[in-house]
Structure 1
Amino acid sequence: MKKITYILLLLTFFSQGQILNPVKWKSKILQKSATEFELVMEATIENEWHMYSQYTPDGGALPTVFDFKNAKGNYSLVGKTKESPYKKVFNDIFEVDEYYFAKSAQFKQLIKVTNPKLKQVKVFVEYQACKEQCIQQDNLFTFQLPELKFDESASGDTSVALTDGTTPSDSVEQAKDSVTTEQTLVAKDSNASKNVLAPVEEKKGLWSIFLLAFVGGFAALLTPCVFPMIPMTVSFFTKQSKTKAEGKRNAILFGVSIILIYVILGSLVTGIFGADSLNALSTNVWFNLIFFGLLVFFAASFLGAFEIVLPNSWANKVDQQADRGGFVGILFMALALAIVSFSCTGPIVGTLLVEAASKGGLAPIVGMLGFSSALALPFMLFAMFPGWMNTLPKSGGWLNTVKVSLGFLELALAFKFLSNADLVIQAHLLEREVFLGIWIAIFGTWAMYLFGKLTLPHDSPLTHLSIGRLFMAIFVTIFTIYLIPGLWGAPLKIISGFPPPMTYSESPNGIGTSSGNNTTAIDLPEHAHSGPHGIIAFHDYEQGLAYAKEVGKPVLLDFTGHACVNCRKMEDFVWSKPEILAVLKEKVVLISLYVDDKRELPKAAQYVSKETGKEIITIGNKWSDYQITRYKNNAQPYYVILNSEGIDISKPIGYTPDAQAYKKWLEEGISQFKK
């Protein structure tokens, strides 16, 4: 009788399974010349679902990845895969920015064919789509090429569009609905063939870059290399100009020249690296390591170890050109200011360019526009209204205090880039506690410096604290104290996104907390791991089931993903409830199967799925195929309660943010096990 009951239960579960397919693809191929073709892949995304950019930062959702099947070298890729504009949103669960597409997305890749016998091009894409649940999907595109004749004289855009069929392989439904390959010549579509959209930041993100750079430009003004030059420059314009109107005009031209010089610098950075490739650099290990070293170098300069100066010959040659008069002379005066003040402005400019480059798109240009605007504005205003000069504070030791303070900020920011590199390679050398410890040391030392307990090279003798310095010292001290509880699991929302996420730490839920990951290695059964909140968890189905038999407990089967945001929400806000956590720790055996685990299976364990026809190569492929095959479902999170024989004894559920509903579901499954 029990067997019949179990069979009926299984039939019920299968009938309720659902293979989700929120992203539909279509594609075409555009012939650009005799040997060049543009592969266009367009995704239509269901409402409320998102798929992610190729450039979304590590630590959050999975990026879209293209694999061009070109083993024989039949063609070469021309540049990187372009994509349509994405949206940028901060994910407070993963504590990173995420770049995603809603409703639609377009990807374009230009290729140059080198083998005239090539008939088709295959492109494999892997991507993640999320709503209340997340799914890992893939798709195989097959682009049919016309008969090629290598006539290089026929260069230029022929504007022939070839519509191809694609053989999707990301779900059972798609596999059954394969589209028959066809080639159709269509009318000329110059917009379609030329409109390549590179990823850019949203306007809100660019405004943030501008304002941050503007503050940086204002900080550069308050350094020993720049501040004393304000009265000197203003005096030059007021004395050398024949009339007040001419003086004001020249002052405006001087300010415009400063802005022009720095914007050109930002344009060069964008031009050298490429607007779209800068995003990819932000998650590159070497990029982050190089800029970590660069910012430490800048910080050491500001703290007084040495000065970064450009060759004197540069300044002399530029100064000679400044005597030419007119706009050209004023332009060279602005360039001379940039060169002479480089020892103070260089580290700030370098830091802003590093930060802007990591954002990609037009950010370096916008950043330099903000920096130079703040730098140029006082020179213009004081030259136009010389009477305001009387309100300026006198130069003195406070200027070096500003410079040193910037050095401490540079040093703190440097460790963000080192943390990025550590997160990318998952070395766990700079986990959250270590990062916060370093920041506490840096800001604590800065506070001691501001209180006058430490002196550095180039400091003037300090006889008393100014009111401004005292307030700044108090503010830095408060911030340092604010950081300390982070070592014990405080979220530190003010600096969210700077330190590694709480899951990337020695104690993900805080040192000494009752729900912390305080399960020791001695407490763990063989093959088990310490999961969220110290729950004993298995990452292999057979090993977890064997342990469940041994201890006589039911199994909580958890289909999850490292990059599944709602999986983390369930763990953080539902599993953490004391009444639920007690059940998960004491009454069930947790088996968490990660469908996005990229580690390869041994060659002998790799296979082709009978259900989907896909090659099962990684551990994640294996568990995803297991979920699809057994439950006809491909979304995460997905929970099932099994008995110790591996038979389902509960109705599977997905994302359930209602803690009471989830608790009721757990209790019903456990009560079924006891019958």
Structure 2
Amino acid sequence: MEVPKWNVEVQENNIVEGDTITVFFEAKIPEDWYMYSSDFDPKLGPMVTEFNFYENEQFERLGNVEAIGQKKKYDELFEGEYTYFTKKAKFKQRFVIHSESPDIKGLVSYQICSDVNGQCIPFESDVAVFNNVLKKPLDTAKSDADASTPMVLEAFDNDFETTETEGQGLSFLLTFFFISFGAGLIALLTPCVFPMIPMTVSYFTKSNTSRKKGIAYAILYGVSIIAIYTIVGTLFSVLFGADFANFLSTHWIPNLFFFAIFIIFALSFFGLFEITLPNKFVNKIDSKSNKSGVLGIFFMAFTLVLVSFSCTGPIAGTILLQAANGDTIQPIVGMLGFSLAFALPFTLFAVFPNWLKSLPKSGGWLDTVKVVLGFIELALALKFFSIVDQVYHWDILNREVYLALWIVIFAFLGFYLLGKITFPHEQKQQKTSVGRIISALLVFSFVVYLIPGLVGAPLKALAGYMPPLSSQSFVMNSPQVTSISNNTMKTAECGVPKYGDLLELPLGIQGYFDYTQALECAKKQDKPLFIDFTGHGCVNCREMEATVWSDPKVLKRLKEDYVVVALYVDEKTELPEKEWYVSAHDERLKKTIGGQNLDFMIQRLNANAQPYYTLVDTNGSLLNAPKGYDLSVQNFVEFLDNGLEEFKIRNTKDVLVNSDSEGVNHNPIIN
């Protein structure tokens, strides 16, 4: 068995001489092994974990090392209770720094035992806190007396996995895959692509003497199309990965750029102009497709992608821009789904050429598909402008205005399908087909569904794409008004919520927007803390609030059983300079509310996707594993109930410990 490696982390940033720091020591424990803790009587027999620091004038210890998140067990052999760790061991120690170059080193002695064979192995490991370097304050012009060290929140101490579960991530990616697959099928119905299906298939059925060889080439052709689009998605993912996603999804520059791009896509579909690649480049690629063999087939696929770009570019671009708001893998999944649907008919019709007879003939209906896509692109463009409006509090595109624009856009789409509106590049329809009438009925039904939203209907199916209901000035029979009073008095006990003039919780929930203030309130009310890592531009957050939070069972628990804090990771409001700090995660300056909330989430929970719901007790310890996007009301109720039950159990244990022990603190405290 290898000697466990100890990781050392200092809680504070920008430390100067005279500061008090908190240092965390953490070791990973192998599976089926456990480590004894440090807070039980060593006379019992097991070897306690002991830290010995080499004392010098450069630092001073404050108190003893504290164990965090350990378990307790009664051992009949030793006739007493001892504490231990599984999976990982964590301790903390506080120091006062007396030097600009402190040399804090020590030796930790401990014992690890096996659950399988009962074997116990003692170890000794060296630990070092600093590399003899302290960071100066951000504003070096200030004197040491005026310099202020920003408060950085302590880690959540827990025995739970804090990353998103595989099931949640897989479910979201599968949904995005099928949406992209549907977009690929729609792209096939555009004028640039549909006529090319029989042309391309005829090449494979006529140019090869062997049908077997033709089928093999057709499959290779389809695989090449998938590879080309997936490579684009991979490059997009590498260039604009997860660290860049928050910037893309919330900053005004990319979102206004995306807004403009979608408007351009819509105008292109309306026939105002065509988005094409340079002819010289397309012709050069096409000339290489004349080569025989595998390489020639690949360049044929590349030529198809380029020639159809004026129709598929806006659709594929829409998928990539939507994926920019998610994880690094999302653009790859999106392009894989899109290209699979796009390549499928070319391959299938080449393998089964008789199917071509069942295809409808090209005609004006293809132009209709393009125009319909133009209206959809126009509606989607508003989402990007809405994100900027919410993040920067412009209050231009509130919910009423957003809904009014959608109602007008889709009403125009309905009139277009009925033949009441004709674009310059189209011929006026003499008769309206049954298909267009049915499509128009569906569109007008959607418009009717939108209209009640103007007076505050939740429109749950579209909650993720709408500005929050709180941005609406008039809401008929608003639950926000009728259900606040009981919770307001409890909130008042803890003072006015910090940043309450900028931010708001949905559904009349009274809570906070600053973690420290919320934790203090949880202590005063003796309630667990519900942390909502959210964002203005988070589609899934709005959908969770409208679909899950709004359920009476969930809403009752959030209002009565928990203190709620919403930590917006994309809030751009800049904090006072004394609260700025440089992150230990990416060594970048964090000076906005959202920047610090996101940094807190990444460092303490190893997660950066929203929504992310976390339950902690009044000491800052996790009550259960955090929860991500999940539209099951029952799952969310169980999540809240399990957290509350664990909170009550810990409170009962604390009462027993405080009454039976001599002031030993078994729970970590966030300072």
SS at match of 1:358: coil
CA displacement 1:371-410 (0-9 Å, x = unmatched): 1111100001111111000100000000011111111111
Task: Decide whether aligned partners of structure 1 residues 198 and 282 sit closer, same or farther in structure 2, where only a CA change above 3 A counts.
Answer: farther
Q: Distance in 2 between matches of 1:353 and 1:494?
A: 23
Deviations 1:195-214 (A, max 9, x none): xx999981111111111111
Q: C-alpha distance in 2, partners of 1:226/1:604?
A: 58
- Looking at structure 2, the residues matched to 439 and 267 of structure 1 have their Cα atoms a distance apart, in angstroms, of 33
CA distance in 1 between partners of 2:459 and 2:376 (Å): 18
Hey, what does 2:130 align to over in structure 1?
145
1:458 maps onto 2:459 in alignment = no
| Corresponding residue of 1:395 | 362
Q: How do residues 181-192 of structure 1 correspond to structure 2 at under 5 angstroms? A: none
Paired residues, number:
418
CA contact (8 A) 2:491 2:510 kept: no
Q: Secondary structure at the match of 2:471?
A: coil
C-alpha deviation, 1:169, in angstroms: 7.7
Q: Distance in 2 between matches of 1:365 and 1:576?
A: 37
Aligned residues with identical type, % of pairs: 43
Q: What are the within-5 Å matches in structure 2 for residues 476-487 of structure 1? A: 476-487=443-454
Query: Residue 307 and residue 170 in structure 1: after superposition, are their counterparts in 2 closer, same or farther (change >3 A)?
Result: closer
Deviation at 1:514, TM superposition (A): 6.8
Counterpart contact for 1:199–1:361, Cα < 8 Å: no
Aligned-partner Cα distance in 2 for 1:147–1:327: 60
Equivalent residue letter for 2:276: V
Which of 474, 477, 481 is equivalent to 1:513?
477
Report the 3-state secondary structure (helix = DSSP H, G, I; strand = E; otherwise coil) of the residue aligned with 1:28: strand
334, 348, 372: which one pairs with 1:367? Answer: 334
The answer to whether 1:467 aligns with 2:405 is no
Q: Whole-Å Cα distance in 1 between the matches of residues 564 and 26 of structure 2?
A: 31
Note the alpha carbon deviations across 1:177-207, whole angstroms, 9 max, x for none.
xxxxxxxxxxxxxxxxxxxx99998111111
Aligned position for 1:164: none
Q: 2:193 aligns with which of 226, 236, 246?
A: 226
Question: What is the rounded CA distance, in whole Å, between the counterparts of 1:460 and 1:534 in structure 2?
Answer: 63
Deviation at 1:460, TM superposition (A): 3.1
Match of 1:267 in 2: 234
Task: Tell me, yes or no, if the aligned pair for 1:293 and 1:414 is still in contact at 8 Å.
Answer: yes
- Listed as ranges, the matches of 1:305-344 within 5 Å are 305-344=272-311
**349, 354, 379: which one aligns with 2:316:** 349
Question: Residues 264 and 576 from structure 1, CA distance in 2 versus in 1: closer, same or farther, beyond 3 angstroms?
Answer: closer
- Residues 246, 118 of structure 1: CA spacing in aligned structure 2 closer, same or farther, 3 A cutoff? farther
TM-score calculated relative to the size of structure 2: 0.53
- Structure 1 residues 427 and 249: CA distance shift in structure 2, 3 A: same
RMSD: 5.0
Residues 43, 273 of structure 1: CA spacing in aligned structure 2 closer, same or farther, 3 A cutoff?
farther
Corresponding residue SS for 2:430? coil
Q: Is the 8 A contact 2:275 2:310 kept in 1?
A: yes
CA distance in 2, matches of 1:233, 1:430: 46
Q: Does 1:211 align with 2:178?
A: yes
**Mapping of 1:42-121 within 5 angstroms?**
none
- Partner of 2:424, secondary structure, is coil
Q: In structure 2, do the counterparts of structure 1 residues 147 and 303 end up closer, same or farther at CA, with 3 Å as the change threshold?
A: same
C-alpha spacing 1:143/1:378, structure 2 compared with 1 (3 Å): farther
Call closer, same or farther: CA 1:576–1:276 in 2, change over 3 Å. closer
Question: What is the SS of the residue equivalent to 1:305?
Answer: coil
Q: Residue 438 of structure 1 corresponds to which residue in structure 2?
A: 405
Q: 1:520-669 to 2 correspondence within 5 Å?
A: 560-561=512-513
Partner Cα distance (1:198, 1:534) in 2: 34
Deviation at 1:437, TM superposition (A): 1.1
Is 1:28 the counterpart of 2:13? The answer is no
The Cα shift of 1:426 comes to 2.0
User: How many Å separate the matches in 1 of 2:287 and 2:164?
Assistant: 42
Q: CA deviation at 1:290?
A: 1.5
Between 273-282 and 366-375, report the one with greater CA deviation.
273-282
CA contact (8 A) 2:400 2:454 kept: yes
1:484 partner letter: I
Q: Which residue of 1 aligns with 2:251?
A: 284
What is the match of residue 243 of structure 1? 210
Alpha-carbon offset, residue 570 of structure 1 = 9.9
Taking a change above 3 Å as real, the CA distance of residues 571 and 396 of structure 1, as seen in their structure-2 partners, is closer
Question: Out of 404, 416, 421, which is 2:383 matched to?
Answer: 416
| Structure 2 SS opposite 1:299 | helix
Question: What's the TM-score once normalised by structure 1's chain length?
Answer: 0.53
Q: Paired residue for 2:471?
A: 504
Q: How far off its partner does 1:571 sit? A: 10
- Give the letter for the 2:465 counterpart: F
**What is the aligned partner in structure 2 of residue 491 from structure 1?**
458
Tell me the residue number matched to 1:300: 267
Q: Distance in 1 between matches of 2:319 and 2:215?
A: 30
Give the C-alpha shift of residue 353 in structure 1.
0.5
Q: CA deviation at 1:286?
A: 2.2
- Per the alignment, residue 255 of structure 1 pairs with 222
For the residue of structure 1 that corresponds to 2:250, the secondary structure is: coil
- The answer to whether the 8 A contact 2:233-2:320 is kept is yes
CA separation of 1:311 and 1:41: change in aligned 2, threshold 3 A: farther
Displacement after TM superposition at 1:312 (Å): 0.5
Match of 1:383 in 2: 350
Q: CA deviation at 1:42?
A: 7.8
Counterpart of 1:204, as a letter, is S
**Aligned counterparts of 2:279 and 2:592: Cα–Cα separation in 1:** 59
CA contact (8 A) 1:517 1:534 kept: no
SS across alignment from 2:8: strand
User: Which whole-Å CA distance do the structure 1 matches of 2:391 and 2:285 have between them?
Assistant: 44
Distance in 2 (CA, whole Å) between partners of 1:105 and 1:347 is 49
CA distance in 2, matches of 1:296, 1:104: 53
Unmatched segments (≥5 aa) in structure 1: 1-25, 31-38, 45-102, 107-116, 122-141, 149-166, 175-196, 519-530, 545-556, 582-591, 606-616, 622-631, 636-654, 657-675
